[in-house]
Structure 1
Amino acid sequence: MIARSGIHDEVASKAFCEMLRDLVKTTQHENLRNKILELIQAWGFAFRNNSKYRAVQDTVNILKAECYKFPPLKESDAMFSADSAPEWADGEVCHRFVL
């Protein structure tokens, strides 16, 4: 759990979010801009209930206010709705249940 928290701390840091926001504004590569917007949106959704990572949601809101268009949130991104990772079980089939 420590490693994941460290990654979350970095992704949700104010400095990292500002760097991504600047990159969205300055890149000439539309695919890169769209991917960054997609990731920021997914992280904002994933961290929406955790005030520790508020910088990500703030970045989403700022970019929306600046009229950047976010792609639709993909159904696969709904996996972020879980508050924690599911218990691991070896098997031939995925047994992820959404309650």
Structure 2
Amino acid sequence: MPLPAQRGARLLRKRSLNLSGHRTSVALEPEFWRALHLIAQKRGVTLAGLVGRIDAARPPDRPLASALRVEALREWMPALPEIAGTDREDQLG
């Protein structure tokens, strides 16, 4: 029987991209990849182009996978409050 972390890893889909001349891989749930693909189409850019823009704009302490998920949420949930710099538990409670 797989460990819980191994079971969760199977739910992720890994993609390799070229970002700023560097090859990198990102693992996200298929639903997030689909949302990002739709966002890229809407904005008239490739998926790699969208990921590159998000990568360039993210804070240095935020992992790329996290920044991609947040961008998808912001696009599809525009009323999502900005919680940057605060304790998320306090805001969500």
Give the TM-score taking structure 1 as reference length.
Answer: 0.26
Higher relative contact order (CA 8 A, sep 6+): 1
Give the TM-score taking structure 2 as reference length.
Answer: 0.27
Q: Which has the higher strand share?
A: 2
